[in-house]
Amino acid sequence: MKRWMLNLGIAVTVLITAWTVYTKPEEKEVSLFSYDQPSIVVQKESTDFEKALKAFLMQHGFQEVRVLNNYAEAQILILLPREHLSSHKKREIQQMVNQVAKQYHVHPDVVNVQLYEKK
């Protein structure tokens, strides 16, 4: 009788746990940005490099530059007009970023340029 009660208790616990997991509502991803504009992310290594990169890219017609801190790793977010979303333009932007990286002795692998569109 004790064994039957133990098995019943285990079965009920498993069923309740499965039902709780199954009916749990999905967590929605929260975006830090409410705008719908294309952008690139450039990982940075030093503050001087960050400032020079911001100034250089803003001189070349980028609309806005914001710095987001993600724990120990900071990123520079640069908003671009829609026509900048092409592989040719991405290579051109990468060359501009590499030029500034060389001036500040930042290894080119540290700087990663990615084009994407926020929704």
Copy the structure tokens of residue 42.
């450039």
C-alpha–C-alpha distance, residues 41 and 112, integer Å: 7
C-alpha–C-alpha distance, residues 80 and 21, integer Å: 42
C-alpha–C-alpha distance, residues 9 and 41, integer Å: 53
The rounded percent of the chain whose pLDDT value lies above 90 is: 0
pLDDT digits 0-9 by tens, 69-104? 443 444 555 555 555 556 667 777 778 878 887 887
CATH topology of domain 38-117: Alpha-Beta Plaits (3.30.70)
Place of tokens 């039957």: 4
In the predicted model, is pLDDT for residue 14 greater than 50? Answer: yes
Alpha helices in the chain (DSSP H): 2-23, 47-59, 87-103
Residues forming a β-bridge with 76 = 42, 67
Which one is predicted more confidently, 114 or 46? 114
